[in-house]
Amino acid sequence: MQITLVRGDITEQEVDAVVNAANSSLLGGGGVDGAIHRRGGPAILDECRKLRASHYGGGLPTGQAVATTAGRLPARWVIHTVGPVYSSSEDRSDLLASCYRESLRVADDLGVRSVAFPAVSAGIYGWPLDDAARIAVGTVRSTVTKVTDARFVLFTEDAYEAFERALNS
């Protein structure tokens, strides 16, 4: 698998699947989640509502992933994953790693070869960038998958630099 870094907007990535750092409701939110829903249009929200009604009435559990259409995005699928909120008193790194493993599992189920990931949990969920990057890159590197192109799309220079350090270590 080739792992690359891109500084930019994940909603502009021409890949098979874009990973969404979703909230458990699957009904949209801020940050990456809001951007994906706005750019992708109502088809994403419609499928999220159906998934919520049929399978995830209490919300998608943290660390899990599920796919919907990508709507108007230049991708075919959106893989929604719920990252953990950072805690300095509880090690939740296994849940963050699960977001990446489960997203790749869903990608394999869909036959996806190229995936764009955001920095899950490193925004409003407060995960320190260097630690989030280390977990993300390490997990994607070590996961057996049919995905051949994994890219991390980082919106800020700080995030890009953290992921660059993780990728080069």
pLDDT in tens, 76-101: 999 999 999 999 999 999 999 999 99
If one counts every other C-beta atom within 10 angstroms of the C-beta of residue 169, the result is 9
Mean pLDDT value of segment 139-153: 98
- Domains present along the chain, CATH in parentheses: 2-168 (3.40.220.10)
Q: For the chain, what is the mean pLDDT?
A: 96
Residue 58 pLDDT greater than 90, yes or no: no
Which listed residue (9, 33, 94, 149) is catalytic? 33
pTM > 0.85:
yes
> What pLDDT is attached to residue 1?
95
131 included as an active-site residue = no
User: Which range, of 17-26, 48-57, 95-104, 152-161, averages the lowest pLDDT?
Assistant: 48-57
**Tokens 């992921």 appear where?**
163
> What pLDDT is attached to residue 52?
87
> What pLDDT is attached to residue 28?
87
Dihedral of the CA atoms 29, 97, 10, 79 (nearest 10)? -70
Measured CA to CA, the distance from residue 99 to residue 50 in angstroms comes to 21
